[in-house]
Every structure is written in structure tokens, then in C-alpha cells.
Amino acid sequence: MDVIEVIRAKRDGGELTPEQIDWVIGAYTRGEVAEEQMSALAMAVFLRGMGRAEVGRWTEAMLSSGDRLDFSDLARPTTDKHSTGGVGDKITLPLTPTVAACGAAVPQLSGRGLGHTGGTLDKLESIPGWRASLSTEEMRRVITETGGVICAAGTGLAPADRKLYALRDVTGTVESIPLISASIMSKKLAEGTGALVLDVKVGSGAFMKDAGSARELARTMVDIGNDHGVRTVALLTDMATPLGRQVGNALEVAEAVEVLSGGGPGDVVELTVALAREMLTAAGLTPGENGVKDPAQALRDGSALESWKQLVRAQGGDPDAPLPEAAERRVVLSPSSGVLTRLDAYQVGLAAWRLGAGRARKEDAVSFGAGVTLHAKPGEEVQAGEPLFTLHADEPERFDRAAQALEGAFDIGDAAEWRTRPLVIDRIS
Ligand code: URA
């Protein structure tokens, strides 16, 4: 097959054949298609798009480039969640043990954060002793013993995506709905889950800034999952403002433990319960029926917390050890009194990143204690001179730039200006 023909076909708006897709992904992974040729093809896909059959085949080809885990012999049905990423999005932490406490098994391969959104592994690594890298055998042992496992994806899963994602990152071709969908779904299908719930975020702190493109991304991924025999549904959820009151690694772990202990911020609890119910239902377990516990009950009765402790211990962590704290704190006071009518997710994420909670390059280390505590959430009253944010950092020289990111991040107004926004905007199945 000739790669130039494949590039020309897509450049001219044609539909790639299954044979062309299989060949180009395979040859690129083996190093037989040059990076500049694959960049041209990625740009052609970016500009021309792909149809349902093409994107499904592209996903299949990336999936087939590596290993595929198989948990079909577990006693429990498997179900997983993927979030497209947001600010303060610690939901995987309370969600995985909650779903495990309700009777399903969760094989969760997660990532590290890059840019203004945090990564689940960075958060969990703030727990003393906790290990993200597990062999396939260890993964199987942990999920069998505890009903859940959260770990780093091994290099053997979807290697084509690893290579292509790095190329897209430097060629302006990340923001393509078919390429994002195939990238995410090839990794999720490779982890061997039987059911999948996608949390597609919408708003300033998310990849997708408007509901239309988030809906299109959700539809494309749901179709890929279902076409591959994995029962897949998506929730479109709000990411205009951060989730919860803590943004940062150890800060978010502490907040997740509050939720698991039956407390915590209302939005984190609401989303955890909504996603857990979807995950159980997708796995064929109806919450509240036939002895299947409802997730809200698991959070109230201590079973989700017990499941969290087992999960953390099974990966070498000490769930009772004190979490790391940043060396320095600075409080930002409210400039006026009224109701907080806007708090921008992206700018809070940027502040947390500038404080050291995130990384600029893949190889950078993160500060576990760094981040932002939000003393008020949209809809709540604030008083002039009272704390609005607490900034946490190891180096005090980080505070000024973080505080600058927060300067235009909020509005304080009249109670009449405040409109509640739904957290779950839509459901796509
Ligand atoms: N996350 C992924 O895994 N892939 C993309 O293409 C974008 C976000």
C-alpha cells in the first residue's frame, strides 16, 4: 500500500477503507511510515473528519497494535469510568471504591496530569507508599481482592496511540473529535472493561468549551464503545467551575476521603453517586434492587470508605498516614460582599498549576501539597475582607503569579444575578 495515496484520499475528503486504516496504523507503529507522513494524515483527518465506520476501524487498529487485558473471568461484572478531565476532578477516588462496595469490579487505568487539569495518579501518589505501576498479575490480584484497581497503563496497551498522541501534540492536531475519540477509546477498550461510563466535561476548565462539541465527542465515543460490545453511556457534566472545594493533589485526596466518610462538598457527592449508578446499571446491576446497594447508601454506611482503605493498602499505601502539606500558605481575601456568581475553572486550574500542583512537561515532578482551597462556591455569600482562597505552595515565590491567575477568575454580585446550573447537563446512550 502507498501512504501518499492514503494521505491524498483523506486530503480530498474521501473515506478511508478498512484496509487502508489497518495498514497505515500498523505501518506507523512499526516505524515504516515517516512522522511527516503521519502528521500530514493527522492534519487531513483534522480538517476532513472521519465517519462512524472509519473512526471505529481507526480505534480497532490502534487497539490491535498492543495487548488487551481480559477480566471476563472475574466473579463480578467489570465497569469503568473515563473523564475527559477537569479542575478539581477527583471523582475517580471516591467513585472506584463506591462502585466496588456495591458489587461491581473497576479496572481503572489512569494518567498523570499535564497542564491545568490534574491527573488521578498524581493525586493518589501523594498517599505515602502508594504505587501506580503494577504488573498485569498484580493488577489482577488487586482487583480480585478489593473489587477495584487504579494504576498506570502499561506501555503494551495501544502503543499506536502513544506514538500518535505525541505527534498530534506537536502538530496542532489534538483537537479533532475523531482522533480524540479513537485515542481515548482504544485505551479504554484495551483495559478489558465490560461496561464504560464517560464523563464528558463542558466549560472553561474542560477540553470541550461548548456543549455542542462535547455532545459530538460523547456521541462518537459512545458509538465506538457500543460497536465494540462494551456497553457505553456518557454524561455531559459542567466544568465551568471547579468540582469541590480543593484543587491540588493531596488536598483532593483529603476531600475524597471526606466524601467517602459520608460528608464532603455536594457537587462531588452528586457526581460520584450519578456516575456510580450509571456504572452499576451499565454492568447489569440495578442499584437498590436484588441486593445491589445504592451508591449513596455505600457512602453513608462506611462500606465505600472500607473499600477505599482496602484498595489503597493493596497498592502499598497507608490510608491512615498523614498526607503531605505544602510548606507555605497565602490567603486571598474577598474584595467585596455579596454572592459569588462566577468562579472560573480554567483560571483556578492555572493558579493550582502555577503553585506547583501540575507539570509543564511530562518529566516534571509535581508538588503533592500545592493547590488552591476555595472558601466559597458559586451561589454562596462572601464578605469583604474574609478569605476567598487559600493558596498552598512549597516555594513562596509562586504565590504572586498564582494570585494573578485568580484576579479575573470570579464575580461577586447580587443574589438576584445568581442562576443555579445543573451539574449533569445531558445523558447520551
Ligand atoms: N486524551 C487522550 O487520551 N487522547 C486525546 O487525544 C485527548 C485526550
pLDDT in tens, 126-182: 999 999 999 999 999 999 999 999 999 888 899 999 999 999 989 999 989 999 999
Q: Is the dihedral of CA 137, 134, 96, 98 positive or negative?
A: positive
Residue 165 Cβ inside 6 Å of ligand 1? The answer reads yes
Q: Is the pLDDT of residue 115 over 80?
A: no
Are residues 25 and 62 in contact, defined by beta-carbon separation less than 8 angstroms?
yes
Q: Is the CATH code 3.90.1170.30 the one for domain 328-417?
A: yes
Please state the rounded mean pLDDT for residues 38-60.
Answer: 98
Residue 55 pLDDT: 98
pLDDT at 84 over 80: yes
Cα 253 from chain centroid (whole Å): 15
| Nearest ligand 1 atom, CA 180 | 6
* Residue recorded with cell 488552591: 372
Residue of the nearest CA to atom 8 in ligand 1? Answer: 180
Cβ of 180 closer than 6 Å to ligand 1, yes or no, is yes
**3-state class percentages of the chain: helix first, strand second, coil last, to nearest 5:** 45, 15, 40
**Whether the CB of 183 sits within 6 Å of ligand 1:** yes
Q: Cα of 92 to ligand 1 centre, how many Å? A: 17
Ligand 1 centroid from CA 183, angstroms: 5
| Position in ligand 1 atom list of the atom nearest CA 179 | 6
334-340 mean pLDDT: 97
State the chain's mean pLDDT as an integer. 96
The confidence band for 112, taking pLDDT boundaries of 50, 70 and 90, is confident
pLDDT for the residue numbered 223: 98
Q: What is the pLDDT of residues 296-328, one digit of tens each?
A: 999 999 999 999 999 999 999 999 999 999 999
366 vs 361 pLDDT, higher one? 366
Task: Calculate mean pLDDT across residues 323-346.
Answer: 98
Are 168 and 174 spatial neighbours (Cβ–Cβ below 8 Å)? yes
Q: How far apart are CA 329 and CA 321, in angstroms?
A: 22
Helix (H) or strand (E) holding 98: helix 92-101
Cell of 173: 492536531
Average pLDDT over every residue of 334-362: 94
Pocket test for ligand 1, best of 55, 162, 163, 165 (most atoms within 8 A of CB): 165
Q: How high is the pLDDT of residue 381?
A: 97
**For the segment 175-203, what is each residue's pLDDT rounded down to a tens digit?**
899 999 999 999 999 999 999 999 999 99
Which residues are annotated as catalytic? 82, 161, 168, 183, 187
Inter-helix orientation angle 35-48/159-169, to 10°: 80
pLDDT at position 142 is 97
Which residue's CA is the nearest one to ligand 1's atom 7?
Answer: 180
Half-sphere exposure of 57 (CA within 13 A, CB side): 17
Please name the residue whose Cα sits nearest to atom 3 of ligand 1: 184
For residue 185, report the distance from its CA to the centre of ligand 1, in Å. Answer: 9
Give the span between the Cα atoms of 295 and 82, in whole angstroms: 18
pLDDT of residue 362: 76
Phi first, then psi, for residue 66 (nearest 5°) are -145, -160
- The answer on pLDDT for 208 being more than 90 is yes
At 30 the pLDDT is 96
Fold assignment, 3-49: 1.20.970
Q: Is 184 in the pocket of ligand 1 (CB under 6 A)?
A: yes
The C-alpha atoms of residue 143 and residue 135 are separated, in whole angstroms, by 12
Extract the C-alpha cell encoding 238: 459542567
- Can you tell me the distance from the alpha carbon of 325 to that of 212, in angstroms, rounded to the nearest whole number? 40
Interface predicted TM-score (ipTM) of this complex, two decimals? 0.96
Domain 80-314 has CATH 3.40.50.10800: no
Q: Whose CA is nearest to atom 2 of ligand 1?
A: 184
What is the pTM for the complete model shown? 0.96
Report pLDDT digits (tens) over 251-284.
999 999 999 999 999 999 999 999 999 999 999 9
DSSP state string for 46-101 = HHH---HHHHHHHHHHHHTTS-----TTSSS-B-EEEE---TT--THHHHHHHHHH
Which tops the pLDDT comparison, 401 or 116?
Answer: 401
- Cβ of residue 6 lying under 6 Å from some atom of ligand 1: no
pLDDT band per the 50, 70, 90 thresholds, residue 360:
confident
pLDDT band at residue 113 using 50, 70 and 90 as cut-offs: confident
| Cell numbers that stand for 306 in this block | 472500607
Ligand 1 midpoint to CA 398 (Å): 29
Q: Going by CA atoms, what residue is nearest to atom 6 of ligand 1?
A: 180
The DSSP secondary-structure symbol of 355 reads T
Percent of the chain with pLDDT over 70: 100
Look at ligand 1, atom 1, and give the residue with the nearest C-alpha. 184
Q: Which residue has the cell 462531588?
A: 268
CA distance 419 to 241: 13
How far apart (Å, rounded) are the C-alpha atoms in residues 357 and 325? 12
pLDDT > 90 fraction of the chain, expressed in percent and rounded: 91
What is the distance between the alpha carbons of residues 198 and 420, in angstroms, rounded to a whole number?
24
Phi-psi region of 204 (alpha: psi -120 to 50; beta: other; left: phi over 0): alpha
Which sequence spans correspond to the domains of the chain? 3-49, 80-314, 328-417
